[in-house]
Structure 1
Amino acid sequence: MQNRIIYILVLLISVISYGQVNLTVTPDKTTYNGKDVVNLSIVLEISGSEYNPQTKLRLPDFSKFNLIGTGSVNNAFMDPETNTVVSQSVTRLALEPKQNGKLKIGSFLITINNKIYKTEPFEILVKDVERKTSVAANTSKDVYLNMEIEDREVYQDQPTVAVLKVYSRNMDNFRKIRNIHLPEQENLDVFPISFAKSEIDPSDNGSMASQILAVFMVFPNEAGYVDIPGVSASLNSYAHKDHLVSNKVKINVKKLPEGSPECFKNAVGNFNVSVANISKEKVEVKKPMNVLVKVTGEGNLKSMELPKIAASPDYEVFAPKITSRVMVGTEGMKGEVLANYLVIPKKAGEITIKTEHFAFFDPLNKEYVDLGEQSLAVNAFSHDQILESRTTVEKVNEYTNTFLETVNTPVLKTTSFKVKEKNKFHWNILFTNIAILLVLFIAYLGFKTWQRKKRSVKETAIPQSIGSIAETEQEIRENLKTDVNDYFSYLENLKDNSDYEKFFQTFEELDREVRKQYSEDASADFGKALEYQNGPAVTEEYRSLIQRVQIEKYAPVKSSDAIDELLIAIVNLYSRISK
């Protein structure tokens, strides 16, 4: 009896082995350093031809990692012992940890024959995540640049935002950074977003402070692993000038999915297309008209290929004039691109002007969208029809303009405009002129008398003590508090005399006077009022200037060149925001 049970179990195991699914995931190790890359091997093995995958391999949440590389290999062979087909798929993932500590990797899922197979979640240990920085050999160890890119896996022609930071142990180095040059490469399109410096973070990297120098957008235009070159800048010190170069960043540019429409070229994002006739006159045969093709939306607006007006025997098309109204921000490139075409109808009657078919790839939904062709129906008139439709006044104006443009007119006779001489003398005019002169003379004598009385009152006034030079200077400044030009001149004198302590005290007085003009005392409220009156750009410039003043004020060594630049910035800003 026992032998029969064993035989039945062996038979069941052999039957099950003819068709089964095995899904496993294996890391290359369980403990990593900050610079290590986590390599995962996912193996899917299917025995038997009756098992058909219904979905692709679904990945777990990788929000704590940067996916920097993928690859897969498929194999199939016949098992000679069981005489079954075995298909094997091996997928390799390369992950970069964003933080240290224990990180959990969830389950990988796949659906086969209406059944979900998954792997068991597991944890890895990352001891320390170090910032990937690259310091140039000729720069000081006390300061370096670092470029950070959050999204390192994008589609071709899809943007990713990069942030350039400077790190230093000495905050005095932050004001010395100059001449920032963004990377240039054939397979990249780089557009700046902002060069406004952020507030200084005193403890961003341990004992080093940091500051954001620039934010820019990168559009990779080819698939594969793309290296974004480092950003360069100069560090101007008193002794010499150093050249700083940031680290390089590698991103994974995914190929666009297959099955794109024939009309798809390189538009990636979300767009709309419209066509309109912007000519004010009636459309006339063999006369040009302006047709505007407008593309609006979000995506690679500055590098995409715009839809053209399709050729037709009914009209003639000339090359367009391209204008763009695009705003580059941290959320993407948004706006509109306008193509102004010159179209000449060749026949009278109904004419349909069509654009080429246009399609784009939507990276959010991961699908292609075909907008088709856009059409504009116009009614073209012949020259005779245009003349018949005109009113009498329009015809007269047309004939008059034609006459003036084509016929040489003689010079107008001016003899009729001459004033005829008269022999009779008008005594009334003479007496009137004499009376006017007497009134003017009496008014002049009255004015001179008033001036003499005023001067005598000043001379008989009791003289007061003029006080010292400093008191007089303070009194003048008190009486002219709201005149910022006097502050500018006074700051110029203090700068020339190297009286930097008095220079910064005077600047603070100037700042208080300008803030009082806005009826605000607190800096935060003043920032809101300034933004309401002058916009966010001027407010950001004001905050950056205040930060520069604080850095120069507490700098251990004052530079006359730096004070000159600071004074120029003060004059430029406060002359605009003062009321």
Structure 2
Amino acid sequence: MKRLIFCTIVIFVTISAKAQKIEFKASAPQTVVAGQPFQLQYSINDNNISKFSIAQIDGFDILNGPTSFVSSNYSFINGKSTQSVSTTYTYVLSAKKEGNYSIAPASAMVNGKQHKSNALNIKVLPADSKQQATQQNSKRNSGQSAHNIGAEDLFIRPILSKATVREQEMVLLTYKIYYKVDLVNIVDIKMPDFEGLMTHDIEVKKPQDIENYNGQNYYTSILKQMLVSPQRAGKITIGNMTGTAIVRTRQVVRDPNSFFGAYSTYQDVKKQLSSGVATLNVTPLPQPKPDDFGGAVGNLSMTSSISSENVEANSSIVLKINIKGTGNLKLIKTPKIDFPTDFEQYDPKVDNKFNVSTSGFSGSKTIEYVVIPRHSGRYDIPSTKLVYFDLSTNKYKTLSTESYTVNVSKGKATADSSATTTIAYNNKEQEQVKHIASDIQYIKTGNLHIKPYLNAFVGTAIFWICLLIPLIIAIMLGIIFNKKAKENANIALVKNKKANKIAKKRLKVAEKYLRTDDKEMFYDEMLSAIWLYLSDKLNIPLSQLNKDNTRDGLLAKSVAQEIVDEALALLTDCEFERYAYGGDIRTAMDNIYNRAVETIGKIENSIRK
């Protein structure tokens, strides 16, 4: 019985293995050096192979191969058996000279069927000169220390994808390390102060490669990649990135008692590295800038839609605006729509779907406006505009949404004016919205219980008081509204008054990222909150704001020197902690958040005095 079960399992595994999809894959390094050997491998997930052959490989010498290796793996998990079989053919090749080469697909008969592998593209770099190779071998044979590791053996380069860009245009900044030594690790990395730039980190997907630089071949690794966006025109200098390289070196120890007279040991040594500065030449945007221009730069499009143009009173309407394209999408402001005064409005819901790559930001921003018309009638919803600078044409462009006409009919009358209706929002959230009391009340019927009133009210003191009180209130309200209108006309004053309120909202968003330990988004939101607060409070455009004019502006508003130093130290520490490695990240984030709340409060109290 046991033998029968075992045979059944073997037959089932064999049938499953034969029924699997054949994968025939070729693999080799994407970059090699002329004259240096490398491996070309072909893997097939089967062992019933016949007539394996490769096409002629031009530009390469076959030093060895093919050598074949078959591996099998059986597993039983939760009562289910699986088998995997793989056959690998290996060649050792050497490129004859530099250039770009293609290796055609190989072919093989697997279970009686013809299969082909993928093709490969290989870049061949020129070999190092004999003098350079001799010097390198000499260093390896004699041993190395931190002192004799030369600048040409190990260094960091800052690489900008473009040296000259427009203001607000995204550019890729890459910090790459070049080495000819046995590099173990890079520690204590410190990023420069990106003054005048907004940055966004990019995940590194290709950490190691080979590159020919200044006639020499180096192993390379990308330490950091980020998108930077200049906030002002002119020449911007990006400071040094520093770090400590740990290099494994070979040490030759002379021992007269040894038969060979010497032996080799290995030890790790530290080497301090600095990237050097990078210079970005920023061209200003054309003048004059349109009044509605908010700083968006790229290639954008905008569409809109409305849920319905025929609704009943007290029913919800959803207006959607979709902005998509490429560029500095994070800086696009939410468009403002002038809805009719009879429409009750709710805060718009913004959904950002951004993709980040080495070429910049792409994706869409969707804004949903929920409004409720309270009275019947015919209402016009005007179009809204978005002004941006198009990098492909070097011109300002204006995008406009459609305008809509909404016909609102009377809703069904209800006996209870305080009844509630449920408004669905985006099929997810619901709000209870109360009906506004009807404008016209029903006529009272039945026994009215009317009683005569003999005393005259007109001409009495109470009559004149009741007559004067509304007049006085109307005059006071007129004075207040006139004062408010003058204040609202002063944009700088409005921004100054609302700076603290806006900063508190952004700090609440940062607090959410603090609770989820999202370090990158937390520090992005903190820096935006602090800089925008200072920009509105000092009436200095964000693109022109820096630490120097921030100091001068706060002192001019009679803010104490101690508080000014705290604010500048907070900005510096926030930028440093954003790129800091190791340590207690949560404690540092808590400290930055509490300091920001305290410092903004101190500035507010100082300016109010």
TM-score range for the pair, normalised by the shorter chain length: 0.3 to 0.5
Report the TM-score when normalising by structure 2: 0.36
* Structure number, greater radius of gyration: 1
Bigger proportion of residues as strand: 2
Q: TM-score scaled to structure 1, two decimals?
A: 0.38
